[in-house]
Chain A
Amino acid sequence: MALDLWKENGTIDPLQQKLKKKFFLRRIRINVYRLLFGVSCLFLWEWASGRWIKALYISSPTAVLKRFAEWYTTGFFFPHLSATLTEMALGFVIGGTLAIFVGFVFGVKKLWADILDPFLIAIWSVPGIILGPLFILYFGIGLTPKIILVATTVFFLIFFNTLTGIREVNQEMVDSIRLMGASRAFIFWKVMIPSASTWIFAGLKNALPFAMIGAVVGEMFSSTKGIGWLIERASGVLDTAGVFAGLLNLLILGLLLNEGVVQLETHVLRWKTKTLEVGL
């Protein structure tokens, strides 16, 4: 973008066009090779299944796709998808909101943060997933324990990032705005939050896969529906195709969610110019 805008009189630079073309061709090449790589992996899998390794162990792409299609065409899959998505979404929103709020408070109240620092680090170093069985004990086998599990897993990732974001706020910048007569609220909303947003977004992006892990693992512990429950049940009856079909769904879900956050990020953080990453 910087290159696009650099010419001050608004004319198009031939050098710039050349660069754009080169960048475009490079993208195409990368995508073609990616596709080739992916397809060959699938072929190898299909071929090996039943020849080198028993189909019971690794199933095969066609069997997985068939199962995948069945789930969608019969509508069997949708209640499970919606259960997992609900757990993830609610857990992510609750955990994330809390994390950002507490992160801001601790970022501003340095004394509190210093007092609680060792405790936070200690809790953080315990994998939150381990709390799964406890939450099930407290809240039963419905959606609630999974939502709480997701919230606890994402909380720390987002919290620590928010805290760092607030601490990284340029004090000189804050002072310069304070000298203009800005209120505390103005400083908070118009300086601190945008300044920390880079860090917060990085935290949200990191936390997203963990939200999925929290929900699915929670379902595997004990539940009556959800993608995790599907996978758990399939593996219980040695239905490898079912396990892989479940994994395929998680994979697609993960990619879609990540893309969503990236889109949101590029919009909110559009002031961070990215230059074309290729030389002439």
Chain B
Amino acid sequence: MKDSVIEIKEVDKRFITKKANLLAIHSVNLDVKRNEFVAIVGPSGCGKSTLLNLIAGLDPPTRGEICYEGKPVNGINTDVGYITQNDTILPWRTVEENVGIALEIRKTPKEVMERKVNSYIEMAGLQGFEKFYPSQLSGGMRKRVGLIRTLIYDPGAILMDEPFGALDAQLKLVMQNELLKIFDETRKTILFVTHDLGEAISLADRVAVFSGRPGTIKKMREIPIPRPRDIFKIRFSKVFGELYEELWDSLKEEVSKGESL
């Protein structure tokens, strides 16, 4: 039995504003084990991102408890890396300055930092673009910068909120493939949020289906596809099709529920 990195126990999150009182997520229970890749899939607006914000400590839960490495999360959780859907790389920094920012914060010696930055830039295939500003890069390149600036400081766990949501279909596959490669090599603990069921199945060890508002985990499924996986092939395998069908059955009610809102 592997130990848990992230434990979510009976968590509710309610947002109260002047106009609305919204129960965003309701009684969520989830354990993410060490070196495990868990994907959460659900319709848009079901509170998936809210859950990640709670784990990152950007927001406290209304009820229940979130533990990270056995300790309750209280305030900003600097042990996790968080990759959001929107670009949050700094536009006034060059690629290498963006990639090295976490090391700069940690006051890593310059030579070590340079070496690390270069090796990660190489890994992401961004050689030659070290001195470029984000505005001079394509969307896919910016995503890769966002990815490696988090990987470089080796956070205990990585939260990803639809990181490839804004990319076109082909680029998305390429990025997923790179993420799979990185995961196979480094075996990070990853919690990945998406609304794309195919993406969830291709990448994860376990997939959690989230219900529509208030969001809660409706179904949890192991994905018994062996690693290393080839993103371009597994989609046509039998087991992928069966899993897709099974999970889609449970997801589609939620999607149509969301439509009628």
A residues neighboring B (CB under 8 Å): 1-2, 5, 8, 10, 170, 172-173, 175-183, 186, 190-191, 194-195, 197, 269-273
A279–B84 Cα distance when bound, in Å, is: 35
Task: Please give 12 more A-B residue pairs, beta carbons under 8 A apart, in addition to A10-B128, A172-B88, A183-B105.
Answer: A5-B132, A5-B136, A173-B88, A173-B90, A175-B58, A176-B84, A179-B78, A179-B80, A179-B82, A180-B105, A181-B105, A195-B92
Residue contacts A-B, CB under 8 angstroms, 27 given: A2-B135, A5-B132, A10-B128, A172-B86, A175-B82, A175-B88, A176-B82, A176-B84, A177-B101, A177-B105, A178-B78, A179-B77, A179-B81, A180-B81, A180-B101, A180-B105, A181-B78, A181-B106, A194-B90, A270-B133, A271-B92, A271-B93, A271-B133, A271-B134, A271-B135, A273-B133, A273-B136
Residue of B nearest to A273 (CB): B135
| Contact A178/B101 with A8-B128, A172-B88, A194-B92 known, Cβ cut-off 8 Å | no
Q: Measured between alpha carbons, how far is A183 from B107 in the docked complex, in Å?
A: 12
Q: How large is the interface on B (under 10, 10 to 19, 20 to 34, 35 or more residues)?
A: 20 to 34
Does B153 have its Cβ within 8 Å of any Cβ on chain A? yes
A172 touches B77 (CB 8 A): no
The reply to whether the CB of B171 lies closer than 8 angstroms to some CB of chain A is: no
Among B105, B135, B136, contact of A186 (Cβ-Cβ < 8 Å)? B105
Chain B residues within an 8 Å CB radius of A269? 92
- Contact at B101–A1, with CB atoms within 8 Å? no
> Whole-angstrom distance from the CB of A67 to the nearest CB of chain B?
47
A198 to B78, CA, bound (A): 30
Residues of B contacting A181 in the complex (Cβ-Cβ under 8 angstroms) = 78, 102, 105-106
Complex contacts, A271 vs chain B, CB 8 Å: 91-94, 133-135
B76 at interface, CB cutoff 8 A: yes
The interface residues of chain B lying within 8 Å CB-to-CB of A176 are: 82, 84, 88
User: Chain A residues near B136 (CB, 8 Å)?
Assistant: 1-2, 5, 273
B121 is an interface residue with CB less than 8 A from chain A: no
- B56 interface hit (Cβ, 8 Å): yes
| Chain B proximity of A237: nearest CB distance (Å) | 54
Query: A182: which B residues are within 8 A, CB to CB?
Result: 105
Q: Which residues of A contact B80 (CB under 8 A)?
A: 179
Chain A: minimal CB distance from B211 (Å): 26
Could you tell me if B93 and A178 are in contact, using CB atoms closer than 8 angstroms?
no
Interface string of B121-147 (1 = CB under 8 A from A): 000000010001111100000000000
B41-64 residues at the A interface, CB under 8 angstroms:
56, 58
